[in-house]
Structure 1
């Protein structure tokens, strides 16, 4: 074994022992980006539902369409083991996700179903959008209660 390969192996071992920062892990950055897009579209409809902005059927429908499609994006590569809040600084993903992945997936499926319901009614008037908006918020909250840690 050469000194160069020994040094490289030692450096790799040392690097693996250090805590990883979220901004150094593409999967974490990408899933956080995905959630920012959820918030962006959810916020448009939330503003309308709460009366902070005027209801606009086209804008509501576009936001609901976006949210629907975002929830259909394959996220499987965004959740590698070892990218939880106990292993990495800068993420709020609870280790419980990997402890009960089946329940996490079930909760995400509920979000997908709710987003589909919202998409079907978002452009049909404020009352219809509000009715479809509630289940999306409930699906988000259910997952956050179980699988999102407080900001560190």
Structure 2
């Protein structure tokens, strides 16, 4: 009986010490949903900019407008401390986000600014779209380089 209690206690301790699932945290689930929406809209303008999709001014404008509005969504409840990859399974957010919050915030502001430029360029032809998509991609990449775990 004592052996059973030891094994059960050890199993419980391991389970409690293991990172929780990201999907069980509403803030992380919402954050990941927002990133999926970024990706969905970026695939439209990125596909056009890279020649994988035919340029469609209305579709490009809609995707750019969506990205603009997504970057304006209040982020304050999406990034609570303790929702990093060392604390949760299924998230790639590095703990460095909370250690360098000013830099992380500045990179998000750069994304917002790039979304404004993309919104202004999207419906004005492929020659206007390409550099704006490139700038938006660079702002995404700058944040990912420092604050997202490799997949």
TM-score, L = length of structure 1:
0.87
Structure 1 position 50 matched with structure 2 position 50: yes
- After superposition, give the CA deviation of every residue in 1:80-105 in whole Å (9 maximum; x if it has no partner): 00000011111000000000000000
SS at match of 2:124: coil
SS at match of 1:78: coil
CA distance in structure 2 between the aligned counterparts of 1:93 and 1:21, rounded to whole angstroms: 13
Structure 1 stretches lacking a partner, 5+ long: 1-13
The equivalent residue for 1:10 is none
CA distance in structure 2 between the aligned counterparts of 1:34 and 1:44, rounded to whole angstroms: 16
The equivalent residue for 1:132 is 132
SS at match of 1:76: coil
CA distance in structure 1 between the aligned counterparts of 2:90 and 2:64, rounded to whole angstroms: 29
TM-fit CA distance, 1:19: 2.5
Structure 2 stretches lacking a partner, 5+ long: 1-12
The equivalent residue for 2:21 is 21
TM-fit CA distance, 1:20: 1.3
TM-score, L = length of structure 2:
0.88
TM-fit CA distance, 1:16: 6.7
Residues 32-111 of structure 1: pairs in structure 2 closer than 5 A: 32-111=32-111
Structure 1 segments (4+ residues) deviating >4 Å: 14-18
Higher alpha-carbon deviation: 18-27 or 37-46 = 18-27
Structure 1 position 123 matched with structure 2 position 131: no
The CA RMSD over aligned residues, in Å, is: 1.3
Q: What is the total number of aligned residue pairs between the two structures?
A: 138
CA distance in structure 2 between the aligned counterparts of 1:129 and 1:83, rounded to whole angstroms: 35
CA distance in structure 2 between the aligned counterparts of 1:148 and 1:23, rounded to whole angstroms: 17
